[in-house]
Amino acid sequence: MEYLLELAASPAAWVALATLVVMEIVLGIDNLIFISILTNKLPVQHRQKARRIGIGMALILRLALLSTIAFIVQLTAPVFEIMGQAFSWKDMILIAGGLFLVWKATTEIHHSMDPAPEDPKTATSTVTLGFAAAIGQILMLDMVFSIDSIITAVGMTEHLPIMVIAVVVSVMVMLFAAEPLAKFINDNPTVVMLALGFLIMIGMTLIAEGFGAHVPKGYVYAAMAFSAAIEVLNMLSRRAKQKKLAQQA
């Protein structure tokens, strides 16, 4: 209790908490985009449940990993070396997660360009399998993003309570933002393609970091923000044209 009171009275601790909360929220955007796109592929009645399960498991994984900080820190230690390049467990997890994101986003883009016809006879089995597959894929990416998130937190502060609060706050923000983001993506088909492009970029960034090439997150998120701003202008332009056509008709 005395330790917590000391932290609460420390201005440096509050600055560290605010910085870490912002960082965790930014890192959570990647996870949230993936969850939104994946759950929108499910039937309407299953989407909200899948989002809550996915985000809930993200919180559980992050808190569980925080309880094993000593083990998490060891994930950055080199395990083997190939042609002078050392690889740790963290590197291998980032590479695997990046490859999965690139594969998943590319597959979704292909399906969007050439959608397969749905067979009504297999609709029931598809719903069950689709829900289970969606949860499995969400949990897989939750693990990748959670490890990256916790290692970032460990690098920014040594106080466990600050890490726990930052993780809980960031996941709560994800929970509240999940529904509006998923609805926005679902209502705007062109945004889906943009978001899938974001996932490919994020996947390539994870792969690059796994191979030891540090990619400043600021560049990545600046590119995402610029692309999103252009898409907003395109949406406003389309709506203005539709409104003008409707008035003329």
* SS3 of the chain: CHHHHHHHCCHHHHHHHHHHHHHHHHHHHHHHHHHHHHHCCCCHHHHHHHHHHHHHHHHHHHHHHHCCHHHHHHCCCEEEEECCEEEEHHHHHHHHHHHHHHHHHHHHHHHHHCCCCCCHHHHHHHHHHHHHHHHHHHHHHHHHHHHHHHHHHHHHCCCHHHHHHHHHHHHHHHHHHHHHHHHHHHHCHHHHHHHHHHHHHHHHHHHHHHCCCCCCHHHHHHHHHHHHHHHHHHHHHHHHHHHHHHHHC
Q: Where are the domains of the chain?
A: 2-215
Distance CA 33, CA 138 (A): 11
pLDDT at residue 7 in the model:
64
- The confidence band for 184, taking pLDDT boundaries of 50, 70 and 90, is confident
Q: What pLDDT is attached to residue 89?
A: 83
Q: Can you give the pTM of this predicted structure?
A: 0.66
Residues with Cβ within 8 Å of residue 91, at least 6 apart in sequence? 209, 210, 211, 212
As a whole number, the mean pLDDT across the chain is: 78
pLDDT at 128: 44
Residue-wise burial string across 157-183, b where 16 or more C-beta atoms lie within 10 A, e elsewhere: bebeebbebbbebbbebbbebbeebbe
pLDDT at 114: 67
List, in sequence order, every residue forming a beta bridge with 78; answer none if it has no partner. Answer: 88
Other C-beta atoms closer than 10 Å to the C-beta of 40 total: 18
- Tell me what pLDDT residue 127 has: 43
Name which residue leads in pLDDT, 4 or 62: 62
Q: How far apart are CA 4 and CA 223, in angstroms?
A: 39
pLDDT category at 116 given cuts 50, 70, 90 is low
Looking at per-residue confidence, does 16 or 180 come out higher? 180
CA distance 96 to 102: 10
pLDDT above 50: residue 121:
no
Query: Distance between CA atoms of 146 and 178, rounded to whole angstroms?
Result: 17
20, HSE (Cβ side, Cα atoms, 13 Å):
27
pLDDT at 126: 40
Of 150, 181, 190, which is closest to residue 168 (Cα–Cα)? Answer: 150
Residue 154 pLDDT > 80: no
What's the whole-number mean pLDDT along residues 227-233?
Answer: 85
Q: What distance in Å separates the CA atoms of residue 98 and residue 205, rounded to the nearest whole number?
A: 7
